[in-house]
Homo-oligomer: A and B are copies of this chain.
């Protein structure tokens, strides 16, 4: 229902990453599966999460009938390898410290094919075979044997974008290394500083702790959310975080943040 509300087509979802099996992080999956079933989905849906997720979903089938599409489960590999990879991106699971097995996820874009400068196509009379090589980053060799460097033929490559999602977890300084320099970091911020002890006890983080991690990791921008309902005004949590890391935004369901594509600078 939320996807519908935000104008998103559930049919376009092929991969779902679940952090842990607490209700507020997994119950929505039941409704999504039902909706996809009603919509006549036939292609598989890939579910990533703790091993217990597969067992939980078995009960979906048991009570609500078999789905007409396949569920493919992947649990984080113990050696830290990618949990998902395609030609466009890779995803790594990040073990978190919460009351039950929980994972954050790091999404890293792969390099895109280079864009060849239009005027160079004419200048050197480039054919399709030449273009394929140049897009891959190779230099061009003319019929006369002159080497034209790739950097002269192409526009600067796009920067590879990255996004890390960290929820739920106690403040864990060790996470900084794993999300170093990402463009966008979502980090849970359940509590305000006054409830620091409660955060530790329930294995959650405060807004300032999320900001400290973002600062230590040198991320570009921090999104905080998962605020406890005890705070009437979540702006308080954003304010606390901004004191530590100014590039912080408090977010709620349905907010959208894009990481714009930017080209690298060449020397």
Contacts and interface: CB of A to CB of B under 8 A. Distances in A.
A30 B21 CA distance: 12
Interface string A1-27: 000000000000000000001111001
A27 B30 contact: yes
Stoichiometry, as copies per complex, reads: 2
A31 interface: yes
Contacts of A33: 23
Contacts of A64: 21-23
A257 interface: no
A29 to B, nearest CB: 10
Contacts of A63: 21, 52, 55-56
Interface string A47-78: 00000100110010001100000000000000
Given A56-B63, A63-B52, A63-B56, A23 B27 contact: no
A34 interface: yes
Nearest to A31: B27
Contacts of A31: 23, 27
A interface residue count range (under 10 / 10 to 19 / 20 to 34 / 35 or more): 10 to 19
B30 A34 contact: no
A24 B22 CA distance: 20
A27 B34 contact: yes
A52 B65 CA distance: 13
A54 to B, nearest CB: 12
Contacts of A30: 23, 27, 30
Interface string A61-97: 0011000000000000000000000000000000000
Contacts of A22: 34, 64
A59 to B, nearest CB: 5
A155 to B, nearest CB: 45
The CB with the most chain B CB atoms within 10 A, among A22, A23, A24, A30, is that of A23
A24 B31 CA distance: 8
Nearest to A21: B63
Contacts of A59: 56, 59
9 contacts: A21-B63, A22-B34, A22-B64, A23-B30, A23-B31, A23-B34, A30-B30, A52-B63, A55-B63
Given A27-B30, A30-B30, 10 more contacts: A21-B63, A21-B64, A23-B31, A27-B27, A27-B31, A27-B34, A52-B63, A55-B63, A56-B59, A59-B59
7 closest A-B pairs by beta carbon, nearest first, are A23-B34, A59-B59, A27-B30, A56-B63, A27-B31, A23-B64, A21-B63
